[in-house]
Amino acid sequence: MRTIGAGIIGGWASISHIPVVTASPAYELRAVSTSRRGSAEAAAARYGVAGYVNHRELLAHPGIDLVVVAVKVSEHLELLSAAMEAGKHVYSEWPLGNGLAEAQHLTELAEKAGVRSVIGTQGRYAPQVRYAQDLINDGYVGRVIGTTMVGSGMVRGPEAATRQAEYYYDNAHGATPLTSPFSHAVDPLNHVLGDFEKLSANLVVGRTEARITADGGTVPITAPDQVAVIGTLTGGAAASVFYRGGTSQGDNFRWEIRHRRRPGPLRGLGQHAGRRSLPGRRPRHGHHRRRPWRSPRRTSATACPPTFPLHDRQCGPPVRAVRPRPRRGRPHGPRLPPRPGPVPAHRRHRARLRHGRGADPALNRARSAGPGPPAPPPRPGPSG
């Protein structure tokens, strides 16, 4: 198979696309282009390829078959149009364009030029997402009845380090919580569970300005930083998705899939740059130690672009789930003597989960009765 020559436009690609291109035997990095001469020369020296400041010089390179565009959304239209007019295949980061009109224009241009085009909604290829899809397609969890997803926009919070972050707060630039982190997260949801059949959405500009910590000034916020969508998927499952700007004091990403067969939901926990886990089933005894367990259908993951959303790269290692291992000690270990007084509600609930039935009635009666009256003092024995 002939090696595909790749040319990359944009400095962000140095930590996202270039590591994958250089690691794959099917591709060969042959040129890079950035907007600053210093960074272009540094990238050229680091990777041993040609470096350009003008993207048209990269497009004229005879060894370039595929052009990867990893720049601001507002520059996608110009760069992608020039690449397709030059007869190059293109890989564009999501979103494709700044608004629906630009995306439609680029789609028509790709069809007219006869080139292949790819949009980087790579979250669906994450090992955890593919494993969750296997569990559902194989009937392991039964019919899905609902799903909830909550996430954070990370960089779109009440404060920013420098004024360069103004790009994320201006709705005109097209890099909003709706178009970037929300859409990156919803694509795996639709890929696993199906598209929305009907929905209702709400966009709210919760914050009107953000503080710049470098100089103490502020920048206006015109991009909606609160995104809420609720609807019904094609399979009949209910879906609720909520994304907020900035970070959360809790989980910055949480995805649950509710189903009928198993006792608990499939859960995906983690932050945008953190880990995720999708156990096949819930443990029976609360907290537990986990050990890895290979998926019965997938044993490895092929190299792929950075997984969703944006900053998390999890391609390459084997696809793993987790199998619960019961904790030691309770309920089979030694028990403490019962405390006086009635059994609290949360302890009765734990007893039901532990034994599969209600708490011991005799134990409840003993605790409800309290310690009782003090024992009488021993009678003295006969003297002499």
pLDDT, one tens digit per residue, over 157-215 is 999 999 999 999 999 999 999 999 999 999 999 999 999 999 999 999 999 999 999 99
- 336 located within any domain: no
Residues 202 and 293 in one domain: yes
Q: What is the pLDDT of residue 286?
A: 43
Asked whether residue 379 is domain-assigned, the answer is: no
Q: Are residues 136 and 250 in the same domain?
A: yes
What pLDDT, on a 0 to 100 scale, did the predictor assign at position 368? 53
In this prediction, residue 144 carries a pLDDT of 94
* 99 and 132 both lie in a single domain: no
Which residue is it, tokens 């004229």?
Answer: 60
Q: Do residue 103 and residue 222 come from a single domain?
A: no
Query: What is the spatial distance between Cα 238 and Cα 244, in angstroms, rounded to a whole number?
Result: 21
24 within a domain of the structure (yes/no): yes
H, E, C per residue of 345-371: HHHHHHHHHHHCCCCCHHHHHHHHHCC
- The per-residue pLDDT for range 121-138, each reduced to its tens digit, is 999 999 999 999 998 998
Do residue 213 and residue 129 come from a single domain?
yes
The number of distinct structural domains making up the chain is 3
Q: What is the CATH number of the domain that holds 32?
A: 3.40.50.720
Residues 205 and 298 in one domain: yes
Check whether residue 136 and residue 81 sit in a common domain. no
Say whether both 129 and 115 belong to one domain: no
Domain boundary among 76, 101, 120: 120
Same-domain status, 17 and 157: no
pLDDT at 280: 42
Q: Is there a contact between 201 and 229 (Cβ–Cβ < 8 Å)?
A: yes
- For residues 307 and 203, membership in a common domain is answered with yes
Within-domain flag for 111: yes
Residues with Cβ within 8 Å of residue 127, at least 6 apart in sequence: 298, 301, 307, 314, 315, 317, 318, 319, 320
Residue 181 sits in a domain whose CATH number is 3.30.360.10
Whether the CB-CB separation of 285 and 354 falls below 8 Å is answered with: yes
pLDDT tens-place values along the chain, 384 residues long: 789 999 999 988 888 899 999 999 999 999 999 999 999 999 999 999 999 999 999 999 999 999 999 999 999 999 999 999 999 999 999 999 999 999 999 999 999 999 999 999 999 999 999 999 998 998 888 899 999 999 999 989 999 999 999 999 999 999 999 999 999 999 999 999 999 999 999 999 999 999 999 999 999 999 999 999 999 999 999 999 999 999 998 889 999 999 887 666 777 644 333 333 444 444 444 444 444 444 444 333 333 333 333 333 333 333 344 444 555 545 555 555 665 666 666 566 566 555 554 445 555 555 555 555 665 666 665 554
Q: What is the span of the domain harbouring residue 353?
A: 341-365
105 and 32 housed in the same domain: yes
User: Is 46 part of a structural domain of the chain?
Assistant: yes
Burial of 289 by CB count in 10 Å (0-12 exposed, 13-18 middle, 19+ buried)?
exposed
Distance CA 14, CA 20 (A): 10
In a domain? residue 375: no
Q: Look at residue 372 and tell me if it is in a domain.
A: no
Greatest Cα pair distance, the chain, in angstroms, is 121
Q: Which of 325, 352, 376 is the last residue of a domain?
A: 325
Does the residue 357 lie in any domain? yes
Angstrom distances, CA of residue 351 to CA of 24, 330, 340 = 54, 11, 17
* Cα separation, 322 vs 269, whole angstroms: 13
Same domain? 295 vs 172: yes
Report whether 44 contacts 18 (CB < 8 A). Answer: no
